[in-house]
Amino acid sequence: MNSMKIRRTAIAVAAAVALPFSLAACSDSGDDTKAAAPSSAAAETTTEASTPSEEPMTDDQPFGPACAGVPKEGAGSFDGMAKDPVATAASNNPALSTLVTAVKQAGLVDTLNNAENITVFAPTNDAFAKISKADLDKVLADKATLTKILTYHVVGQKLTPQQLENGSFETLQKGMVTTTGSGEAYKVNDTANVVCGNVKTANANVYIVDTVLMPK
């Protein structure tokens, strides 16, 4: 009997000792589970935070019907023109060959290429064609008059399309040009339409126009 009592007592003691460890193990397991949840949530938060937010794209591209005629590749393309100063860039655009001839005739190539942060309203060949050949030849032969006309097309700051909505700007010729419009439709002095606008060169913003501007 004593032997049986001793064995029962030993079993009871062993059970009593084992129970706290069992409860502690369960408790630790529960703590691990709870700890894992915040860790998972933190990981989700980190993932969400690391995802870049979508920012609106700014549309700063050339616009207008005549832009379709600009070469897609090479020095005369929009990308090519952006690498060159304005007079050089214009010389690579076939639609501006008459303007380039006039600029060379007036000796303004270096003036335009070396200027910083300017805007050029660049008349197309068709714009010059609106002037009679006799009058155009006369102007091309008169360097002072030609210089006055060409510098009237240049503003001493880079103008954005938004600034053209209702603007008045002094030109290098010291006269004033006015601009009106919105969206992709703008006029200069109420006579010239911007047919390809917001063209970038290395030192200028260019707005190609369908009429030659005449200073007062």
CB 208, CB 194: distance < 8 Å = yes
Alpha-carbon distance 19 to 29, whole Å?
Answer: 15
Q: From the centroid of its chain, how far is CA 53? A: 19
Residue 126's contacts (CB-CB under 8 Å, 6 or more residues apart) are 210
Q: Which amino acid is at 90?
A: A
pTM of the model: 0.73
Q: What are the Cα distances from residue 149, in Å, to 21, 38, 45, 156?
A: 99, 73, 63, 15
How do the domains of the chain map onto residue ranges? 1-43, 65-209
Q: What is the DSSP string of 140-203?
A: HH-HHHHHHHHHTTEESSPPPGGGGTEEEEEBTTS-EEEEEEETTEEEETTTEEEEEEEEE-SS
Alpha-carbon distance 149 to 105, whole Å?
Answer: 12
pLDDT reported for residue 57: 37
Alpha-carbon distance 52 to 75, whole Å?
Answer: 36
In order along its 216 residues, the chain shows pLDDT tens digits of: 444 444 444 444 444 444 443 434 444 444 444 444 444 444 444 444 434 433 333 468 999 999 999 989 999 999 999 999 999 999 999 999 999 999 999 999 999 999 999 999 999 999 999 999 999 999 999 999 999 999 999 999 999 999 999 999 999 999 999 999 999 999 999 999 999 999 999 999 999 999 999 998
Assign domain 65-209 to its CATH architecture: Roll (2.30)
pLDDT reported for residue 216: 86
